[in-house]
Chain A
């Protein structure tokens, strides 16, 4: 099957998956507690609670409630986000940029460090660089994110004073327009290098924290794949032809070792999105992960539904990209077979 046909077929299935996911989450949200728990205080009388339930349409049958919500989504109205005191759509747009910026920077860091470390260790099997790679991998995979984040803050915020929490210096942030919601991009679009430096400065610690776990996974996969590839006959053949070791590694072994690593990178992006919840709380990063955590703890169902819908769509697209990349890197893979 042509890649184009495969993509079209996958895209056609997307709406069905999204609707199915939203029905499941909607049903679970009704089973898991009062959908307007965030508004309910114990001082309220039964009449006041009933008034709120009426306001939020909870007296209608469940299918009607779902259709009302789904209809709203199609028209851009996803309800009111109580935890952020603004319409859900507006809150989502405000926060997506921050989370995507963090996740993408962390992904870039994780890919660079993971592939670099994996290659560095795999090419020097059972030597010191290999041990370093393994120590970093094991610590990254086993160290709780929140603890690593607190350690970085103690070192770089309290002791050295180099970094802080939050996303920006409020004054610098307010000095430029934010058409995309991605601070680094907005700073570049505005041609404001001070703002760009500010954005990078506040990104360093949260991105590093978030990337650490993913780096470990990528590095381990890259290392083991590379070790395997370096034992293959075609590598011996390349060496026998007199190709320098550097080229054997770069042109042959590493390219093939990347194939399984790409799959891990795709899954790692999901890992990063999950990790943003903790990282955004610790670093006061105003993204959707923290928004979601607030919503879960305080029972804001409109926000939870929006988050799930958004992440479902994001995951679908990330998985599609990974599948296509996999086929691109390994011509033996037949998409849709």
Chain B
């Protein structure tokens, strides 16, 4: 090396060290927080209680220095496709805004599953005479003195107009079927709104009346902007909102944020803070924004728990369980020649109960819950999520039992020959991880059991998922959020229900008519004790004869700044399961 070169080396080294110091300075705090928060879930206060502000901090906003006083900022991971209740599907991002701006006849309270009056001044019941003895007619006395954001008045006629509007538009991308499946007719009697059902339905109030699709908008605003046409989207209502709720839609800066203002003429307790929903697609940026104090709450997932729990001035709410367990659908209706060429299974693979039980007994539930859900989850009986009517910890639940799994696959005749099967999952999240855990679990049970996880983007998954017949042997996603077991069992257990028909449950169940009869009976039974009895009987039957594999059920999870007062999250509320109007900052 020449003398000149030797002189250059220290300079270059100095430069590299300086750059390294700069990079370390930038990342040092994150490294600390990543390793700090590995403890179990943090329980937060019940609604009404206040978290004391933390006075010490090393990174981000100091816990005592409230950023954006008077404004609640929530960072959402998605932007609505529409904010028209008639056009928004259950679980879509539009529900995030609809929940804040529109109201329904009755609402689910912040403390649990109990219903509270809203635009109806009373919650109908048989006892107060607002539900007929035969359980078919519901009367909602409409609250007096309620005005919409455009100044028009709420009447029973306006409520009927809204329900009829959803039924008339009947948009396939919306959620109108929850009304059309049940409602025989609607009528107005004085200032009462009267609904008559086709059949008795135990879930009508909890699952239908409280759903986003049953929200009430200003008739004057709708009529002035396109009115109602069968099968036609109302573009005004897709991006404008005129409700009765505690917030008005101030502005929708697409791709950036949605601004909500306190509605001064609100009939109930007014909101304390204006609100803003920021669209933040990247989960890391949401976490950084929370740390900086610019966001008061963020939508997150269990993989960020370690980072978030280590942050000063930040609390992680991990309350009740969500009502949308991760599940693997088993296809008993595979068309001949549809499976990928790599698959070696026959099309009637899942017809054999031993195969279905074998999968359920082989899956490593603990690894999935501890890993993908960061411990914030648990197993459930088929098909009763925790928090759902009928759930009981003593009900039979699948646990990993490799000996029993081996016996099941031996009985089915696959133990020696093995198999290869493709499972479809949405890429990059908990569903893909569930697939990978399944693949590992099966390979550990028997190396001849090969599971291929085909992870695709959301759009591809949804397209494939919507095909009937479904073209793969299995898929993994989460269930739709239903507030009552009647809807859940109709969709996921009934042999002729939504998935029963697609997956061919009649090819699987030992006695499909018995399952159908029990599900139907529970749906119309108004006696709660009897309903619980039926659902628990079903859980026992489904343990012996499962048609799903349920890796786990996740807890509701939200991270928020400690300065947020009265933070409450109810999984029974539509997405994101929080209502800004309850919150304050201080």
Contact = CB atoms under 8 A, between A and B. Distances in A.
Interface of A: 33-34, 37-46, 48-49, 51-52, 55, 82-86, 91, 94-95, 126, 128, 131-132, 135, 139, 150-155, 157-159, 161, 164-167, 170, 173-174, 281-284, 286-287, 290-291, 293-294, 296-299
B452 interface: no
A209 B80 CA distance: 28
Interface stretch (B142-150, B276-284, B336-344, B532-540): B276-284
Given A84-B254, A291-B255, 17 more contacts: A34-B459, A37-B460, A42-B466, A49-B172, A85-B254, A139-B19, A151-B27, A157-B288, A158-B59, A164-B292, A166-B257, A170-B276, A284-B279, A286-B255, A290-B255, A290-B281, A299-B459
Contacts of A159: 26, 29, 59-60
B459 A298 contact: yes
B59 A94 contact: no
B570 interface: no
B6 to A, nearest CB: 14
Contacts of A155: 25-26
B293 to A, nearest CB: 8
Interface stretch (B7-15, B45-53, B218-226, B352-360): B7-15
A13 to B, nearest CB: 34
A165 B255 contact: no
The 7 closest A-B pairs by CB, nearest first: A299-B459, A286-B255, A48-B172, A37-B459, A42-B465, A34-B463, A286-B256
A161 B285 CA distance: 14
Given A37-B462, A159-B59, A85 B239 contact: yes
B401 interface: no
Given A150-B284, A297-B457, A41 B26 contact: no
A170 B253 contact: yes
Contacts of A126: 8
B507 interface: no
A210 B239 CA distance: 32
B81 A85 contact: yes
A284 B278 contact: yes
B292 A42 contact: no
A293 B279 CA distance: 14
Contacts of A284: 255-256, 278-281, 285
A165 B30 CA distance: 18
Contacts of A52: 172-173
Nearest to A42: B465
Interface of B: 8, 11-12, 15-16, 19, 23, 25-27, 29-30, 59-61, 79-83, 89-90, 172-173, 177, 231, 238-239, 251, 253-257, 259, 276, 278-282, 284-285, 288-289, 291-292, 294, 457-460, 462-463, 465-466, 468, 477, 480, 491, 498
A170 B459 contact: no
B253 A153 contact: no
Given A158-B60, A164-B292, A43 B459 contact: no
A158 B291 contact: yes
A91 B83 CA distance: 17
Contact of B8 (A91, A131, A283, A286): A131
A41 B466 contact: yes
Contact of A153 (B278, B285, B477): B285
Nearest to B14: A128
A42 to B, nearest CB: 4
Nearest to A153: B288
A170 B462 CA distance: 35
A165 B280 contact: yes
A281 B27 contact: no
A44 B172 contact: yes
A170 B257 contact: yes
B276 to A, nearest CB: 7
A153 B287 CA distance: 11
Contacts of B173: 39, 41, 44, 52
Contacts of B8: 126, 131
A85 to B, nearest CB: 5
Residue among B8, B19, B462 with the most chain A CB within 10 A?
A: B462
Contacts of A131: 8, 11-12, 15
B517 to A, nearest CB: 24
A182 to B, nearest CB: 15
A299 to B, nearest CB: 3
A91 B285 contact: no
A158 to B, nearest CB: 5
A164 B466 contact: no
A282 B282 contact: yes
A37 B464 CA distance: 9
A167 B278 CA distance: 12
Contacts of A151: 23, 26-27
Contacts of B25: 155
28 contacts: A33-B459, A37-B459, A41-B89, A44-B466, A49-B466, A51-B231, A83-B79, A85-B80, A150-B284, A150-B288, A151-B27, A154-B27, A155-B25, A157-B292, A158-B288, A158-B291, A161-B61, A164-B289, A164-B294, A166-B256, A166-B257, A170-B276, A284-B281, A284-B285, A286-B254, A294-B79, A294-B281, A299-B458
Nearest to A295: B459
A2 to B, nearest CB: 44
Contacts of B498: 43
B101 to A, nearest CB: 15
A95 B61 CA distance: 31
B491 to A, nearest CB: 8
B254 A91 contact: yes
B26 A154 contact: yes
A298 B458 contact: yes
A49 B464 CA distance: 12
B172 A297 contact: no
B469 to A, nearest CB: 10
Contacts of A34: 459, 463
Contacts of B276: 170
Contacts of A152: 26
Given A37-B463, A85-B239, A166-B256, A51 B172 contact: yes
B72 to A, nearest CB: 14
Given A41-B462, A46-B468, A48-B172, A165 B289 contact: yes
Nearest to A46: B468
Contacts of A291: 255
A170 B259 contact: yes
Contacts of A135: 15-16, 19
Contacts of A293: 281
Nearest to A298: B459
A186 B30 CA distance: 38
Contacts of B251: 170, 174
Contacts of B288: 150, 153-154, 157-158
A86 B239 contact: yes
A323 B178 CA distance: 61
B278 A166 contact: yes
Contacts of B284: 150
